[in-house]
Amino acid sequence: MKTVLIVGASRGIGWEFARQYRQSGWRVLATARDEASLGALAGLGAEVFSVDVNDVLKIASLQTRAATCIALHPGWVRTEMGGPRAPLAVEHGVAAMREVLVQAAGAQASFHGRFRQYDGTALDW
Ligand SMILES: NC(=O)c1ccc[n+]([C@@H]2O[C@H](COP(=O)([O-])OP(=O)(O)OC[C@H]3O[C@@H](n4cnc5c(N)ncnc54)[C@H](OP(=O)(O)O)[C@@H]3O)[C@@H](O)[C@H]2O)c1
């Protein structure tokens, strides 16, 4: 079973990643900061961890090996942060980013260390 770690999954883009990956049958490790969100993520079938990204020691314990690291611009997305006027639905943006991640896993050399838009378009740093 494939595994994904989603840091900041209580709402918005992180929540949608957790929802879609669970729907696709993945093992989802999801973090949030409050008990209600941890419970909601557990309800999706995720394994949950209480993490604040300002807690450096906890983040260090989540390190992975042999990872392909890419930065993704999610577009302007209708979330709490993006607001109601954003043109992109979170379901569509996350589905597109998942497709980019599939491509990245199969072509590490052309994705590692790069900056891409949600639809895969290369962006300058
Ligand atoms: N939406 C857009 O149009 C857009 C555009 C460009 C970039 N982005 C970036 O995409 C990311 C997600 O955006 P979003 O639209 O999904 O935002 P959102 O709906 O506001 O959600 C933000 C998420 O980050 C979590 N978070 C905030 N501070 C945290 C901390 N110190 N430790 C752990 N988790 C923390 C929140 O958790 P709590 O519930 O605990 O606060 C929440 O799960 C952000 O980095 C944002 O800058 C978004």
* 33: CATH: 3.40.50.720
Question: Are 52 and 79 in a shared domain?
Answer: no
Q: What's the total number of domains in the chain?
A: 2
Q: Name the pLDDT band for 65 (thresholds 50, 70, 90).
A: low
Among the candidates 31, 49, 64, a domain finishes at: 64
Least confident of 12-16, 64-68, 117-121: 64-68
Does pLDDT of 63 surpass 70?
no
Question: Are 55 and 95 in a shared domain?
Answer: no
Among the candidates 64, 84, 99, a domain finishes at: 64
Distance CA 77, CA 13 (A): 8
Looking at residue 56, what is its pLDDT? Answer: 72
Instruction: Give nearest CA residue, ligand 1 atom 14.
Output: 12
Cβ 10 under 6 angstroms from ligand 1: yes
Taken in order 91, 94, 100, 104, is the CA torsion positive or negative?
negative
Across-strand partners of 27?
Answer: 3
Question: Are 92 and 59 in a shared domain?
Answer: no
Helical spans, DSSP H, in 45-114: 56-61, 90-106, 108-111
Domain membership of residue 97 as a residue range:
68-125
Cβ 79 under 6 angstroms from ligand 1: yes
Question: Are 81 and 109 in a shared domain?
Answer: yes
* CB atoms closer than 10 angstroms to residue 125: 6
Among the candidates 64, 81, 99, a domain finishes at: 64
